[in-house]
Amino acid sequence: MTAGRPPRQGGVGRLLLHAFAYAVIVFLLLPTVLVAPMSVSPEKYLQFPPSGFSLRWYGEYFADREWVEATLFSAEAGIISAIGATVVGTMTALALVRGRVRGRAVVELLIIGPVVVPHIALAVAMFLVYEQLRLTGTLLGFAMAHIVLALPFAIFTVLAALYRFDADLEMAALSCGASRIATFRHVTLPMIAPGVASAALFAFIISFDEAVVSFFISDLDRKTLPRKMFEDIDFDVSPVLAAVATMLSLLTILVLVLGHFFKQMADRRAAPAREGKTP
Protein backbone atom coordinates (compact mmCIF):
# COMPACT_ATOMS: atom_id res chain seq x y z
CA MET A 1 0.00 0.00 0.00
CA THR A 2 2.85 2.35 0.72
CA ALA A 3 4.68 1.77 -2.54
CA GLY A 4 5.44 5.03 -4.27
CA ARG A 5 5.19 7.00 -1.10
CA PRO A 6 8.34 8.40 0.43
CA PRO A 7 9.51 6.80 3.65
CA ARG A 8 8.08 9.09 6.24
CA GLN A 9 10.25 8.03 9.12
CA GLY A 10 13.09 5.67 9.79
CA GLY A 11 12.41 1.95 10.01
CA VAL A 12 12.31 1.91 13.79
CA GLY A 13 9.98 4.91 14.09
CA ARG A 14 7.61 3.44 11.55
CA LEU A 15 7.63 0.09 13.29
CA LEU A 16 6.93 1.69 16.67
CA LEU A 17 4.11 3.77 15.21
CA HIS A 18 2.45 0.71 13.68
CA ALA A 19 2.95 -1.32 16.84
CA PHE A 20 1.29 1.48 18.82
CA ALA A 21 -1.65 1.66 16.39
CA TYR A 22 -2.21 -2.10 16.67
CA ALA A 23 -1.99 -1.86 20.45
CA VAL A 24 -4.74 0.79 20.37
CA ILE A 25 -6.88 -1.52 18.25
CA VAL A 26 -6.40 -4.32 20.76
CA PHE A 27 -7.37 -1.86 23.51
CA LEU A 28 -10.52 -0.95 21.55
CA LEU A 29 -11.64 -4.51 20.92
CA LEU A 30 -10.32 -6.59 23.79
CA PRO A 31 -12.69 -5.73 26.65
CA THR A 32 -15.80 -6.65 24.68
CA VAL A 33 -14.20 -9.67 23.02
CA LEU A 34 -13.14 -11.13 26.37
CA VAL A 35 -16.73 -11.16 27.60
CA ALA A 36 -17.79 -13.72 24.96
CA PRO A 37 -15.74 -16.69 26.29
CA MET A 38 -16.76 -15.79 29.84
CA SER A 39 -20.42 -16.02 28.85
CA VAL A 40 -20.14 -19.71 27.95
CA SER A 41 -18.52 -20.74 31.21
CA PRO A 42 -20.65 -23.15 33.24
CA GLU A 43 -19.51 -21.64 36.57
CA LYS A 44 -21.61 -19.30 38.66
CA TYR A 45 -18.97 -16.58 38.62
CA LEU A 46 -17.18 -15.07 35.65
CA GLN A 47 -13.88 -16.68 34.83
CA PHE A 48 -11.29 -16.52 32.11
CA PRO A 49 -10.43 -18.84 30.51
CA PRO A 50 -13.80 -20.62 30.93
CA SER A 51 -13.64 -24.00 32.63
CA GLY A 52 -15.87 -25.57 29.98
CA PHE A 53 -18.51 -24.81 27.40
CA SER A 54 -22.11 -24.34 28.39
CA LEU A 55 -25.04 -22.33 27.14
CA ARG A 56 -26.53 -22.32 30.62
CA TRP A 57 -26.54 -18.51 30.97
CA TYR A 58 -28.13 -18.06 27.55
CA GLY A 59 -30.81 -20.50 28.66
CA GLU A 60 -31.40 -18.49 31.81
CA TYR A 61 -31.79 -15.34 29.78
CA PHE A 62 -34.45 -16.89 27.54
CA ALA A 63 -36.23 -18.47 30.50
CA ASP A 64 -36.43 -15.20 32.42
CA ARG A 65 -39.67 -13.39 31.65
CA GLU A 66 -38.25 -10.01 32.66
CA TRP A 67 -35.33 -10.26 30.24
CA VAL A 68 -37.49 -11.45 27.38
CA GLU A 69 -40.13 -8.78 27.95
CA ALA A 70 -37.53 -6.02 28.15
CA THR A 71 -35.95 -7.28 24.92
CA LEU A 72 -39.26 -7.41 23.08
CA PHE A 73 -40.19 -3.96 24.33
CA SER A 74 -36.85 -2.57 23.14
CA ALA A 75 -37.29 -4.27 19.77
CA GLU A 76 -40.75 -2.71 19.38
CA ALA A 77 -39.48 0.75 20.35
CA GLY A 78 -36.48 0.23 18.02
CA ILE A 79 -38.60 -0.66 15.01
CA ILE A 80 -41.00 2.23 15.52
CA SER A 81 -38.10 4.63 16.09
CA ALA A 82 -36.35 3.37 12.98
CA ILE A 83 -39.42 3.96 10.82
CA GLY A 84 -40.18 7.33 12.40
CA ALA A 85 -36.60 8.64 12.26
CA THR A 86 -36.21 7.49 8.67
CA VAL A 87 -39.43 9.07 7.40
CA VAL A 88 -38.94 12.35 9.26
CA GLY A 89 -35.21 12.35 8.50
CA THR A 90 -35.78 11.86 4.77
CA MET A 91 -38.35 14.66 4.68
CA THR A 92 -36.00 17.00 6.52
CA ALA A 93 -33.03 16.10 4.31
CA LEU A 94 -35.13 16.65 1.18
CA ALA A 95 -36.23 20.08 2.37
CA LEU A 96 -32.63 21.02 3.10
CA VAL A 97 -31.17 19.82 -0.19
CA ARG A 98 -33.97 20.49 -2.64
CA GLY A 99 -35.91 23.21 -0.90
CA ARG A 100 -35.71 26.83 0.07
CA VAL A 101 -35.52 27.01 3.81
CA ARG A 102 -35.64 30.25 5.71
CA GLY A 103 -33.79 30.22 8.99
CA ARG A 104 -31.53 27.42 7.78
CA ALA A 105 -29.05 28.13 10.58
CA VAL A 106 -31.74 27.48 13.19
CA VAL A 107 -32.69 24.18 11.55
CA GLU A 108 -29.02 23.17 11.44
CA LEU A 109 -28.56 23.97 15.11
CA LEU A 110 -31.71 22.01 15.98
CA ILE A 111 -30.42 19.03 14.02
CA ILE A 112 -27.19 18.74 15.99
CA GLY A 113 -29.00 19.69 19.21
CA PRO A 114 -29.85 16.15 20.36
CA VAL A 115 -26.22 15.12 19.80
CA VAL A 116 -24.44 17.91 21.63
CA VAL A 117 -26.95 18.39 24.43
CA PRO A 118 -25.88 15.84 27.03
CA HIS A 119 -28.28 12.92 27.21
CA ILE A 120 -28.56 13.33 30.97
CA ALA A 121 -29.98 16.84 30.47
CA LEU A 122 -32.47 15.58 27.92
CA ALA A 123 -33.30 12.55 30.04
CA VAL A 124 -34.27 14.42 33.20
CA ALA A 125 -36.07 17.10 31.16
CA MET A 126 -38.13 14.43 29.38
CA PHE A 127 -38.77 12.69 32.69
CA LEU A 128 -40.23 15.94 34.06
CA VAL A 129 -42.52 16.54 31.06
CA TYR A 130 -43.40 12.87 30.54
CA GLU A 131 -44.61 12.58 34.14
CA GLN A 132 -47.11 15.37 33.46
CA LEU A 133 -48.14 14.00 30.06
CA ARG A 134 -48.37 10.42 31.45
CA LEU A 135 -45.91 9.22 28.84
CA THR A 136 -43.46 7.44 31.19
CA GLY A 137 -43.21 3.75 30.43
CA THR A 138 -45.26 4.05 27.25
CA LEU A 139 -44.22 2.87 23.81
CA LEU A 140 -45.16 6.26 22.35
CA GLY A 141 -42.99 8.02 24.91
CA PHE A 142 -39.96 5.85 24.16
CA ALA A 143 -40.48 6.04 20.41
CA MET A 144 -40.69 9.86 20.40
CA ALA A 145 -37.59 10.20 22.59
CA HIS A 146 -35.60 7.73 20.51
CA ILE A 147 -36.70 9.25 17.20
CA VAL A 148 -35.35 12.61 18.34
CA LEU A 149 -32.06 11.01 19.44
CA ALA A 150 -31.68 9.10 16.16
CA LEU A 151 -32.82 11.94 13.86
CA PRO A 152 -29.45 13.71 13.53
CA PHE A 153 -27.82 10.51 12.28
CA ALA A 154 -30.75 9.65 10.00
CA ILE A 155 -30.79 13.15 8.49
CA PHE A 156 -27.05 13.13 7.81
CA THR A 157 -27.16 9.66 6.26
CA VAL A 158 -29.95 10.63 3.86
CA LEU A 159 -28.27 13.98 3.15
CA ALA A 160 -25.12 12.13 2.13
CA ALA A 161 -27.18 9.91 -0.20
CA LEU A 162 -28.92 12.93 -1.74
CA TYR A 163 -25.64 14.73 -2.44
CA ARG A 164 -24.31 11.74 -4.32
CA PHE A 165 -27.39 11.45 -6.46
CA ASP A 166 -27.58 13.38 -9.70
CA ALA A 167 -30.35 15.98 -9.38
CA ASP A 168 -30.59 16.12 -13.21
CA LEU A 169 -32.40 12.75 -13.13
CA GLU A 170 -35.17 14.41 -11.12
CA MET A 171 -35.22 17.32 -13.56
CA ALA A 172 -35.56 14.86 -16.44
CA ALA A 173 -38.57 13.18 -14.84
CA LEU A 174 -40.17 16.51 -13.99
CA SER A 175 -39.70 17.89 -17.49
CA CYS A 176 -41.27 14.71 -18.92
CA GLY A 177 -44.41 15.61 -17.00
CA ALA A 178 -44.06 13.51 -13.84
CA SER A 179 -45.47 15.07 -10.71
CA ARG A 180 -43.12 15.86 -7.89
CA ILE A 181 -44.50 13.02 -5.81
CA ALA A 182 -44.21 10.55 -8.68
CA THR A 183 -40.67 11.77 -9.29
CA PHE A 184 -39.81 11.16 -5.67
CA ARG A 185 -41.37 7.68 -5.67
CA HIS A 186 -39.97 6.44 -8.96
CA VAL A 187 -36.69 8.31 -9.32
CA THR A 188 -35.37 9.80 -6.10
CA LEU A 189 -36.39 7.13 -3.60
CA PRO A 190 -35.03 4.13 -5.55
CA MET A 191 -31.72 5.97 -5.97
CA ILE A 192 -31.33 6.92 -2.32
CA ALA A 193 -32.87 3.68 -1.00
CA PRO A 194 -29.58 2.26 0.32
CA GLY A 195 -28.95 5.46 2.26
CA VAL A 196 -32.48 5.40 3.65
CA ALA A 197 -32.10 1.73 4.61
CA SER A 198 -28.86 2.48 6.37
CA ALA A 199 -30.50 5.40 8.22
CA ALA A 200 -33.22 3.02 9.42
CA LEU A 201 -30.63 0.47 10.54
CA PHE A 202 -28.62 2.93 12.60
CA ALA A 203 -31.76 4.52 14.03
CA PHE A 204 -32.82 1.06 15.19
CA ILE A 205 -29.55 0.33 16.95
CA ILE A 206 -29.47 3.82 18.53
CA SER A 207 -32.91 3.19 19.99
CA PHE A 208 -32.24 -0.42 20.93
CA ASP A 209 -29.04 0.46 22.83
CA GLU A 210 -30.15 3.81 24.25
CA ALA A 211 -29.62 3.73 28.00
CA VAL A 212 -29.68 7.20 29.57
CA VAL A 213 -33.09 8.51 28.51
CA SER A 214 -34.58 5.03 28.95
CA PHE A 215 -33.22 4.96 32.48
CA PHE A 216 -35.40 7.93 33.37
CA ILE A 217 -38.57 7.42 31.33
CA SER A 218 -39.07 3.74 32.17
CA ASP A 219 -41.57 2.78 34.81
CA LEU A 220 -41.78 -0.29 37.01
CA ASP A 221 -43.40 -2.69 34.57
CA ARG A 222 -42.33 -1.29 31.21
CA LYS A 223 -38.60 -1.04 30.82
CA THR A 224 -36.23 -1.38 27.91
CA LEU A 225 -33.38 -3.88 27.67
CA PRO A 226 -30.68 -1.29 28.48
CA ARG A 227 -32.61 -0.15 31.55
CA LYS A 228 -32.89 -3.76 32.73
CA MET A 229 -29.17 -4.25 32.07
CA PHE A 230 -28.29 -1.10 33.99
CA GLU A 231 -30.25 -2.28 37.04
CA ASP A 232 -28.69 -5.75 36.93
CA ILE A 233 -25.13 -4.48 36.42
CA ASP A 234 -25.49 -2.13 39.37
CA PHE A 235 -26.67 -5.08 41.45
CA ASP A 236 -24.35 -7.89 40.45
CA VAL A 237 -22.01 -8.67 37.51
CA SER A 238 -23.70 -12.03 36.83
CA PRO A 239 -22.89 -14.35 33.91
CA VAL A 240 -26.37 -13.79 32.41
CA LEU A 241 -25.20 -10.24 31.70
CA ALA A 242 -22.16 -11.63 29.89
CA ALA A 243 -24.54 -13.64 27.69
CA VAL A 244 -26.68 -10.54 27.00
CA ALA A 245 -23.58 -8.44 26.29
CA THR A 246 -22.30 -11.07 23.85
CA MET A 247 -25.63 -11.21 22.00
CA LEU A 248 -25.72 -7.40 21.80
CA SER A 249 -22.18 -7.37 20.39
CA LEU A 250 -23.22 -9.91 17.75
CA LEU A 251 -26.22 -7.74 16.88
CA THR A 252 -23.86 -4.76 16.42
CA ILE A 253 -21.68 -6.82 14.08
CA LEU A 254 -24.78 -7.76 12.08
CA VAL A 255 -25.85 -4.11 11.86
CA LEU A 256 -22.40 -3.00 10.68
CA VAL A 257 -22.19 -5.78 8.08
CA LEU A 258 -25.63 -4.81 6.76
CA GLY A 259 -24.63 -1.14 6.82
CA HIS A 260 -21.52 -1.95 4.80
CA PHE A 261 -23.67 -3.87 2.35
CA PHE A 262 -26.01 -0.88 1.91
CA LYS A 263 -23.02 1.39 1.40
CA GLN A 264 -21.69 -0.81 -1.39
CA MET A 265 -25.13 -0.84 -2.95
CA ALA A 266 -25.16 2.96 -2.80
CA ASP A 267 -21.73 3.09 -4.46
CA ARG A 268 -22.93 0.88 -7.29
CA ARG A 269 -26.00 3.05 -7.84
CA ALA A 270 -24.09 6.32 -7.76
CA ALA A 271 -21.55 5.23 -10.37
CA PRO A 272 -23.79 4.88 -13.48
CA ALA A 273 -25.78 7.96 -12.50
CA ARG A 274 -22.70 10.09 -12.75
CA GLU A 275 -22.01 8.85 -16.25
CA GLY A 276 -25.53 9.65 -17.31
CA LYS A 277 -26.61 6.03 -17.84
CA THR A 278 -29.72 4.56 -16.34
CA PRO A 279 -28.92 1.60 -14.11
Partner 1 sequence: MSARRPSAFFLGGRHLSEAASLALLVPFALLLVVVFLLPLGTLLHESLLVPAPTLEHYERVFAQPVYLRVMWRTLRIAFYVTLVALLLGYPLAYVMSRSGGLKLGLMAAAVLLPLWTSVLVRTYAWMVLLQRNGLVNEGLTGLGFVDAPIRLLYTEGAVVLAMSHVLLPFMVLPVFSALKGIPDDYPRAAQMLGASGWSTFREVIWPLSLPGVVSGCLMVFLLALGFFITPALIGGPQQMMIATLVSQQVREMLNWPFAGALVGVLLAFVLALTIAFNRFIRLERFVGTRS
**Which residues make Cβ contacts (< 8 Å) with residue 69, sequence separation at least 6?**
none
Q: Is 122 in the site for partner 1 (CB under 8 A)?
A: yes
Which residues within the stretch 159-218 sit at the binding site for partner 1 (CB under 8 A)?
A: 159-160, 162-163, 167, 170-171, 174, 180, 195, 198-199, 202, 205, 209, 211-212, 215-216
Q: Is 8 in the site for partner 1 (CB under 8 A)?
A: yes
The sign of the CA dihedral 82, 199, 95, 103 is positive
CA distances from 39 to 57, 70, 165, 238, 247 (A): 7, 20, 45, 10, 10
Which residues within the stretch 63-82 sit at the binding site for partner 1 (CB under 8 A)?
A: none
Q: Is 140 in the site for partner 1 (CB under 8 A)?
A: no
Distance between CA 57 and CA 55 in Å, rounded? Answer: 6
**Which residues make Cβ contacts (< 8 Å) with residue 57, sequence separation at least 6?**
39, 40, 239, 240, 242, 243
For the CB of residue 184, give the shortest distance to partner 1 in the complex, in Å.
Answer: 10
Q: Is 271 in the site for partner 1 (CB under 8 A)?
A: no
Q: Is 139 in the site for partner 1 (CB under 8 A)?
A: no
Q: Which of 15, 72, 115, 139 binds partner 1 (CB under 8 A)?
A: 115
Judged by CB under 8 A, the stretch of 52-60, 62-70, 113-121, 269-277 that binds partner 1 is 113-121
Judged by CB under 8 A, the stretch of 57-65, 75-83, 257-265, 270-278 that binds partner 1 is 257-265
Which segments of 134-276 does DSSP mark as H helices, in order? 139-164, 167-175, 180-183, 189-209, 212-217, 225-235, 239-274
Smaller CB separation from partner 1, 79 or 88: 88
Distance between CA 124 and CA 145 in Å, rounded? Answer: 12
Distance between CA 117 and CA 135 in Å, rounded? Answer: 22
Interface size with partner 1, residues (CB under 8 A): 110
Distance between CA 256 and CA 54 in Å, rounded? Answer: 28
For the CB of residue 44, give the shortest distance to partner 1 in the complex, in Å.
Answer: 13
Secondary structure (3-state) at 136: coil
Q: Which of 75, 97, 258, 273 binds partner 1 (CB under 8 A)?
A: 97
Smaller CB separation from partner 1, 55 or 110: 110
Q: Is 270 in the site for partner 1 (CB under 8 A)?
A: no
Q: Is 121 in the site for partner 1 (CB under 8 A)?
A: yes
Q: Is 20 in the site for partner 1 (CB under 8 A)?
A: yes
Closest CA to 220 of 231, 212, 209: 231
Q: Which of 55, 182, 253, 271 binds partner 1 (CB under 8 A)?
A: 253
CA 129 to centroid of chain Cα atoms = 26
Q: Is 38 in the site for partner 1 (CB under 8 A)?
A: yes
For the CB of residue 59, give the shortest distance to partner 1 in the complex, in Å.
Answer: 20
Q: Is 24 in the site for partner 1 (CB under 8 A)?
A: yes
